[in-house]
Chains A and B, each alone.
Chain A
């Protein structure tokens, strides 16, 4: 009787689909408080980026020199909740700049650019590093040697310095501040896109080496040997067998790369090499840097936004790493 019951139970269980590795990972991720906190921050950033223009108190503004006089509001007002002369505590949450723009609105409108930078830089970086890592790790021999020497060049490179020169050269060539992509009819900022492409092209080396290492490891495993014995082509082995095994590492690295890309773009903009027509967070910091003795609020709040966003992506990345690669857990 008991054994029968047991048998039924087993049957019942086996009717359900077994939990996929993603479901298992999600369950593990949910238990990690820091990771969930990171996910919440990231989701909030996406929300502000997508819907921000609906609730920002003031509209998005053009660059510093193109601001028309009628656009100007109060100049150098501290955050309203610190200002005894201002009855409305919520008028300027983050204060106003020397040119009379509202820092709170600028930060909200800047969020979408931050997301744009993070995602696009990471897409370019990961595409490049997967291609390079896969070719080097799978084909080995001289191809591997050559690609790894090239990646060494990129690692030894003082990347930030080179990025500055490249950005400076190419942003000089920008004509229209915005480009329209023909079919989907979306406007993208031209100067910022140049910055993004250059950041993407310069940061693939370390990720490519990581992916190469994984390829080398998996290539030698028995199931690949079995697949090869069955007559599978190289393409099939790479795309059907090795890459899916790498997916979790790629997701983790992508999250950390987004964080890094956002920091890098902020640095480039802060040093004055960014696109003056897109008011990213780094751009706000740059514009008000020379007057920070007075308008300290215009430096503190955009910086806090950067810190929080990057912190969120880093927490998310660490959490994903724990959930997806439990072997690597500290």
Chain B
């Protein structure tokens, strides 16, 4: 009884809290952005003209009757704004339409591809952040030391390198020349690597993860280092040092908390892109995920699939942005909830 009352009380205090109003306001802000992207996405289809004419190019002997029935099947016989509204209502109900190739429902296709991408991306993002934070901090602590110069030039190299090319180099060296790792796919197709399903999975993950981590690492380290440098020169760090705190405490308890902001923004962007995957990395390693499927769908102009994947990425990015904004409030109390 008393616990029930405390739950209602805490719930009503949550409703009235500044945090709740803040979240609601941010959610409302997301609506126009979402609609804007959905409108642009939808009208991209019409820049291409009639998707059925593309089918006709592929199958010249198709009859006019078949075309008409296909038109009705895909709902292409209605006026454009009606088509948009139909598409949007379907989308909000989780129905993404049917693929122009084979006519299978897009949400089923996406569901079956998404897991591979999420697996690859989550592992890479976690690794990248775990590695980059200590390296960035150390680099800032000893600015212009040999270690710092090495780290900064390697990370500048990282942002200058085409992602897919790093993948190509790894495949050439480790798969083709040394024969140590599989060059394609997400699991052993002809045989199991290292005679064990789990080890096989790891063998397939090593190179794609290495590529993704390296690219993210480069970005992250540059961000953390630049922020840390600025903060280590600030007055409150000087004050913290003067009051006799250990260097470790100064850095990890006071400075890091302030330096982490832009990193979290970047983390949010990466989380939003989890679903998008890295199309180039997936393409190079023939990873059966969403990114590679997107490239194929764009090549074949399979619009329902392209639009479906785009809208999912958009939603993920918006949600990730919201999560970042909320995280900011907890990390940095100076941010006012407006």
Contacts and interface: CB of A to CB of B under 8 A. Distances in A.
Contact of A296 (B36, B37, B157, B176): B176
Nearest to B149: A34
Contacts of A158: 273, 276, 310, 313-314, 317
A44 interface: no
B214 interface: no
A307 B40 CA distance: 34
A296 B314 CA distance: 37
A289 B276 CA distance: 23
B143 A267 contact: no
A248 to B, nearest CB: 18
A168 interface: yes
Contacts of B176: 292-293, 296
Contact of A271 (B32, B229, B279, B318): B279
A303 B48 CA distance: 32
Contact of A330 (B37, B143, B279, B317): B143
> Which of A152, A289, A306 has the most C-beta atoms of chain B within 10 angstroms of its own C-beta?
A152
Nearest to B140: A330
B44 A161 contact: no
Contacts of B33: 149, 152-153, 156
A267 B172 CA distance: 19
B165 interface: yes
Nearest to A256: B159
Interface size class of A (residues with CB under 8 A): 35 or more
Given A161-B313, A270-B280, A330-B143, A153 B225 contact: no
Nearest to B297: A165
Interface in A161-183: 161-162, 164-166, 168-170
Nearest to B276: A158
Interface stretch (A52-60, A136-144, A308-316): A308-316
A273 B160 contact: no
Contact of A153 (B37, B47, B273, B295): B37
Contacts of A300: 168-169, 172
* Interface SS, B side: helix
A214 interface: no
Nearest to B318: A156
Nearest to A270: B164
Contacts of B283: 270-271
A188 interface: no
Interface string B148-175: 0000010011011111110011011000
B202 to A, nearest CB: 23
Interface residues of B, number: 47
A82 interface: no
B114 interface: no
Interface stretch (B94-102, B189-197, B236-244, B298-306): B298-306
B36 to A, nearest CB: 4
A165 B306 contact: yes
Contacts of B229: 330
B301 A330 contact: no
B309 interface: yes
A259 B317 contact: no
Residue among A156, A164, A303, A315 facing the most chain B CB atoms (10 A cut-off) = A156
Nearest to B175: A293
B294 interface: yes
Nearest to A259: B160
A307 B295 contact: no
B160 A310 contact: yes
A303 B162 contact: yes
A267 B314 CA distance: 21
B261 to A, nearest CB: 16
A104 B153 CA distance: 27
Nearest to B294: A161
Contact of B168 (A160, A166, A299): A299
B294 to A, nearest CB: 6
A187 to B, nearest CB: 27
Contacts of B159: 314
Given A161-B310, A267-B163, A169 B44 contact: yes
Interface in A293-330: 293, 296, 299-300, 303, 306-307, 310-311, 314-315, 318, 330
Interface of B: 32-33, 36-37, 40, 44, 47-48, 143, 153, 156-157, 159-165, 168-169, 171-172, 176, 225-226, 229-230, 272-273, 276, 279-280, 283, 294-295, 298-299, 301, 306, 309-310, 313-314, 317-318, 321
Given A161-B309, A311-B157, A314-B156, 16 more contacts: A149-B36, A160-B279, A161-B313, A162-B310, A164-B279, A166-B47, A168-B299, A168-B301, A169-B47, A170-B47, A266-B165, A272-B295, A285-B168, A299-B169, A300-B169, A314-B159
User: Which A-B residue pairs are the 5 nearest by beta carbons?
Assistant: A303-B165, A311-B160, A310-B160, A153-B36, A164-B298
23 contacts: A149-B32, A156-B33, A156-B272, A156-B317, A157-B314, A158-B276, A161-B279, A161-B310, A169-B44, A263-B160, A263-B162, A266-B165, A267-B162, A270-B164, A271-B279, A285-B164, A296-B172, A299-B172, A303-B168, A307-B161, A307-B165, A311-B157, A330-B143
Interface of A: 34, 149-150, 152-153, 156-158, 160-162, 164-166, 168-170, 259, 263, 266-267, 270-273, 285, 289, 292-293, 296, 299-300, 303, 306-307, 310-311, 314-315, 318, 330
